[in-house]
Amino acid sequence: MTKSNSHFTDLMITKDISGNADFIFGVDMDRMAIDNSAYSALIADMADVAKRQIAANSEILSFNIVRRQVKKELSLNSLGSPQKPEVFSDETISHQVLGSVGEMSEVPLSISGKTSGIKYLTASDMGLSKQTAGTYQYELSISTVCGFIPTVNKLLKKLYRTSNDVDDYLALLDIPDNYDSNKQKSKISIRAAKTDEMSKTYVDAISYFQNLKNIDEEYKRASSLIASRSASKESIGIFQKRLNTVIDKVERLISKTGTGATPSGVANKPANSGLPNASTMEIKQSFSNTISVENKDNKFVDYFKGKGKVGGGLNVYSSSEVRNSKPETIYLEAPMTSLESLEARGVTFVINPIVESTAIDTSPQEMISSKKYIDSSATTVGGLLSDDLSPIDLSEASVASLVSTVDISAAVSSMAPKLSSVNSFQAPADKITKVMPKEITTGAMTKEAPAMTQPRTMVLVASQASEPASCSTKSSESMLKSPEWKPLEEVSGEKGAVMLCKQEGELSDVANGFFLMEMK
């Protein structure tokens, strides 16, 4: 069985200073194991304790994270509207990034001081920095053995054993002269440890079907019926009757599975022993977030220069390091001017100073009369691509002979904002000057676009509107999407709490854009 599901948070992915990918995602393992079980309908009626136990007994057979290059392709939905711009294409090859869950580190993430039941896992893709270009997407595949049958079998075995113990207990009280009916005391009884174990088994079984208010109180309550110092034959009888009711409930549950697992069949079979009917499930999760190998403008912003590690998942910084962090722009290469950017795209300009007195080469092959193309006769002769148009290699053309530098300046200026690598461009009347940025190597980041959102550090916190919640198998999506990002200044946390942060509002790429903050 393969199912897609919504038991995962988004993949939060960033690059470290070496270009490796560090990522983190949250997964509700318990709910995923339950919702994807073949017996999810039966499990839905069970109590939270049972759901947790079933999840705990679900065994991970395989765990894989792969990376695949994606390309921007416009895919259309059934209504013809564009949907995801980046899609896996068949020709891309998957590269395994992680081969077992043990290669991921669990982060004890605190979201507003609450534990939501979501397990946050982080790791690094050390292979990304070896890629020369492209945008990549990650996919997770998990294969697990459903824990339902092992859990129920284990429970039933314990109940049967307790039932036998109760029979023995009552038989003990039936020994002549052992039990005083008036005082409700027996001379020979069984150990308190045994009655405690029996009552625990009973209450644990009950807790699989009812969410108990206080399980410790229930242990005591059940124990009061059978503990030798307080028990009467009648109270032991009541315990036995209640125990049988639970056994009946579990037996009926097994019969509903249709697996052929029978009470007699499970009684002598150890739990988790390769049950023939144990179902496996395959879960695939393609994370929609992608990461590009190339850095925008060949630079990135580093808020923690000289701090942090390479590999091993998201970096961890102390809260004081985070609050005192300063952005520094790191240039991977000297930034290109507008013309260099154009040259990088295959357009060559040869700049000749305009000298009005310079004689223009008027050789016949280069003299082009435009008259017939632009005057009133143009319509009759054809357009500019008329066959008799003399060929001109524009890449080698003397630009100055065609247009003035003023025109070039105007043309390039209009293009400049659209060119991602353009830093600045100035074109005086008689020459073009490259203006280098003020800080070529490193230095405090300047405001590149004051009109844009101010760069700031955001912290993942629980949404006030939606509490995380329940073990209900219905509302997993809302629970996973309930956290929200809040500015660092608005967030406080207990000492030792680990919080997930991100840098927001930068126009450039940010190294370690997602990171963990430990409250000091």
Partner 1 sequence: MTCKLSPIISVDSVELDVSPYVKVSVVIKGAFSDFLKDEELSKYIRAVCVLSIYDPDSQEVSNSVEAVLESKAHWKDTEWYKNARGWDAYLRAEKVLPTDSAVFDIDLSDIVRAGEVITQDDKVSWNKTYLSYFTYIQVNTQQMAEDFNIAIADEYKGMAGDYETGVIMIGGVVVDSDERSFNVRDLREVVEEEPVDGGSCSP
Q: Hey, what are 315's tokens?
A: 């970096």
CA–CA separation, 403 and 398 (whole Å): 9
Tell me which of 333, 343, 467, 477 binds partner 1, using CB under 8 A.
467
Does 229 bind partner 1 (CB under 8 A)? Our answer is: yes
The answer to whether 33 touches 117, Cβ cutoff 8 Å, is no
Instruction: Enumerate residues 54-93 that contact partner 1 by CB under 8 A.
Output: 55
Query: Among 162-170, 220-228, 283-291, 325-333, which window interacts with partner 1 (CB under 8 A)?
Result: 220-228
Going by C-alpha positions, the residue among 182, 170, 213, 25 that lies closest to residue 105 is 25
Q: Output 51 or 157, the one with its CB closest to partner 1.
A: 51
CA–CA separation, 334 and 327 (whole Å): 19
Q: Shortest Cβ distance from residue 21 to partner 1 (Å)?
A: 30
Query: Among 225-233, 336-344, 487-495, 499-507, which window interacts with partner 1 (CB under 8 A)?
Result: 225-233
Q: Output 66 or 238, the one with its CB closest to partner 1.
A: 238
Query: Among 19-27, 218-226, 270-278, 372-380, which window interacts with partner 1 (CB under 8 A)?
Result: 218-226
Q: Shortest Cβ distance from residue 294 to partner 1 (Å)?
A: 42
Query: Among 111-119, 268-276, 399-407, 436-444, which window interacts with partner 1 (CB under 8 A)?
Result: 111-119
Q: Shortest Cβ distance from residue 230 to partner 1 (Å)?
A: 4
The answer to whether 55 touches 49, Cβ cutoff 8 Å, is no
Does 210 bind partner 1 (CB under 8 A)? Our answer is: yes
Report the C-alpha dihedral over residues 404, 408, 411, 417, rounded to 10 degrees: -160
Q: Output 216 or 490, the one with its CB closest to partner 1.
A: 216
Q: What is the DSSP string of 429-458?
A: SS--B----S-SSS-BPP-S-TTSPPPEEE
Instruction: Sketch the per residue contact string, 39 through 58, with partner 1: x for CB under 8 A, - otherwise.
Output: ---------x--xx--x---
Does 231 bind partner 1 (CB under 8 A)? Our answer is: yes
Does 463 bind partner 1 (CB under 8 A)? Our answer is: no
Size of the site for partner 1 (CB under 8 A): 38
Going by C-alpha positions, the residue among 98, 73, 86 that lies closest to residue 137 is 86
* 118 secondary structure, DSSP code: P
Q: Hey, what are 490's tokens?
A: 């608005």
Tell me which of 44, 212, 488, 507 binds partner 1, using CB under 8 A.
212
Greatest alpha-carbon span in the chain: 136
H, E, C per residue of 131-193? CCCCEEEEEEEEEEECCHHHHHHHHHHHHHHHHHHHHHHHHHHCCCCCEECCCCEECCCCCHH
Does 261 bind partner 1 (CB under 8 A)? Our answer is: no
Question: 232: number of CA atoms within 13 Å, CB side?
Answer: 8
Does 214 bind partner 1 (CB under 8 A)? Our answer is: yes
The answer to whether 208 touches 50, Cβ cutoff 8 Å, is yes
The answer to whether 321 touches 307, Cβ cutoff 8 Å, is yes
Query: Among 140-148, 216-224, 333-341, 358-366, which window interacts with partner 1 (CB under 8 A)?
Result: 216-224
Q: Output 197 or 340, the one with its CB closest to partner 1.
A: 197
Does 225 bind partner 1 (CB under 8 A)? Our answer is: yes
Q: Shortest Cβ distance from residue 298 to partner 1 (Å)?
A: 46
The answer to whether 13 touches 67, Cβ cutoff 8 Å, is no
Does 238 bind partner 1 (CB under 8 A)? Our answer is: yes
Tell me which of 7, 14, 21, 31 binds partner 1, using CB under 8 A.
31
Does 183 bind partner 1 (CB under 8 A)? Our answer is: yes
Does 475 bind partner 1 (CB under 8 A)? Our answer is: yes
Query: Among 145-153, 281-289, 370-378, 469-477, which window interacts with partner 1 (CB under 8 A)?
Result: 469-477
Length of the chain: 520
Tell me which of 117, 150, 483, 513 binds partner 1, using CB under 8 A.
117
Q: Shortest Cβ distance from residue 164 to partner 1 (Å)?
A: 23
Q: Output 10 or 217, the one with its CB closest to partner 1.
A: 217
CA–CA separation, 5 and 283 (whole Å): 8
Does 218 bind partner 1 (CB under 8 A)? Our answer is: yes
Q: What is the DSSP string of 269-323?
A: S-TTS--TT--EEEEEEEEEEEEESSPGGGEEEESSTT-S-SSSSS-EEEHHHHH
H, E, C per residue of 392-418? CCHHHCCHHHHCCHHHHHHHHHHHHHH
Terminal C-alpha separation, the chain: 46
Does 192 bind partner 1 (CB under 8 A)? Our answer is: no
Residue 183: how many other CB atoms lie within 10 Å = 8
Q: Shortest Cβ distance from residue 158 to partner 1 (Å)?
A: 18
CA–CA separation, 461 and 492 (whole Å): 10
Q: Shortest Cβ distance from residue 480 to partner 1 (Å)?
A: 13
Q: Output 45 or 396, the one with its CB closest to partner 1.
A: 45
Q: Hey, what are 447's tokens?
A: 């405001």
Tell me which of 221, 326, 447, 520 binds partner 1, using CB under 8 A.
221
Q: Shortest Cβ distance from residue 280 to partner 1 (Å)?
A: 22
Which residues are near partner 1 by CB under 8 A? 30-31, 48, 51-52, 55, 115-117, 182-184, 203, 206, 210-214, 217-218, 220-221, 224-225, 229-232, 235, 238, 467-472, 475
